[in-house]
Homo-oligomer: A and B are copies of this chain.
Amino acid sequence: MRQSDHRVQFRLSGYSEVMNARLTSRGAATKRRIVQGAAMLMREQGAAETNLDQVLQVTATSKSQLFHYFPDGRTGLLLAVTDFEAEQAMEAQRPYIDDLSTIESWTAWRDAVVRHYVELGQRCPMGALTSELGTSSPEARRAVSDLFDRWEGALMAGVQSLLVAGLVPADVPVRDTARCILTAIQGGVVMLRATDRVSYLKTALDAALRPILGASVAA
């Protein structure tokens, strides 16, 4: 790969973006279409089972376009899809994740999370992507760990604001509580994928939330 052309690599807020010297709106649209189409296919059949020809077909583009907008080919596309899906994961929790300062917003958030993963069911985009890119690309590892950092940060902010509002005992450890909640979600998703049962996610998430929401969560 001898890609020393006029493109420049930027790094901003945790994900990499290829900026062309000039990128028309048409080009940007094509690029977006490719990422979203690829993401869709990978949700359906997994990243490993998705090849470039399928992406071309489903997005009505040609090889030259794909390699024009993703000079690193498949690897670059996978990375872009990873960034995209990471953003989707956060998006699914909005608006609640951004303001977890009340008991109500926490329960609303919990419901949104459960609903999201129930919808997703078997297909977990990030899970499939990380396992394929895990070893090869350090970029992808960064994208995933950035996602988890942002996620953890948002949860910590939530716990903290409950704490300062006195809605929660003062001895609740902020970071550990946030981490338990996040870990419960990830474990719940693993179990959901493996067993097709949602109860693991629900039960573990409720248990992780118990220190801050009390025993009232049992629906």
Give A residues with C-beta under 8 Å from B: 45-46, 48-49, 122, 127-128, 130-132, 134-136, 141, 144-145, 148, 176, 179-180, 182-191, 193-195, 199-201, 203-204, 207-208
Contacts of A195 in B (CB 8 A): 145, 148
Shortest CB-to-CB span from A90 to chain B, Å, is: 15
Copies in the assembly, this chain: 2
Given contacts A46-B134, A46-B135, A135-B46, contact A204 B179 (CB under 8 A): yes
Contact partner of A187 (CB less than 8 A), chosen from B49, B136, B176, B186, is B186
A127-B127 Cα distance, complex, nearest whole Å: 9
Whether B122 and A134, one on each chain, are in contact in the complex, defined by CB atoms closer than 8 angstroms, is yes
A-B contact pairs, 6 of them (CB 8 A): A131-B132, A183-B204, A184-B204, A187-B187, A187-B188, A207-B208
Q: Is the interface of A mostly helix, strand, loop or mixed?
A: helix
Contact B131 A194, beta carbon cutoff 8 Å: no
Quick one: given A131-B46, A207-B208, are A191 and B184 in contact (CB under 8 Å)?
no
Contacts of A193 in B (CB 8 A): 130, 134
How many angstroms between the C-alpha atoms of A122 and B141 in the bound complex?
11
**Residues on B with beta carbons closer than 8 Å to the beta carbon of A189:** 190
Given contacts A48-B131, A179-B204, A183-B190, 17 further A-B contacts (CB under 8 A): A46-B131, A46-B134, A48-B48, A48-B132, A122-B135, A131-B131, A145-B194, A145-B195, A179-B199, A182-B187, A183-B191, A183-B201, A184-B204, A186-B186, A189-B190, A204-B208, A207-B208
A128, B49: Cα distance in complex, Å: 14
Residue of B nearest to A187 (CB): B187
**Contact between A190 and B191 (Cβ–Cβ < 8 Å)?**
no
- Docked CA distance A194–B183 (Å): 11
Contact B183 A203 (CB under 8 A): yes
Interface centre among A134, A135, A184, A187 (most CB of B within 10 A): A187
Question: Inside 8 A of A176's CB, which chain B residues have their CB?
Answer: 203, 207
CA of A148 to CA of B189 in the docked complex: distance in angstroms? 14
- A182→B186 contact, CB < 8 A: no
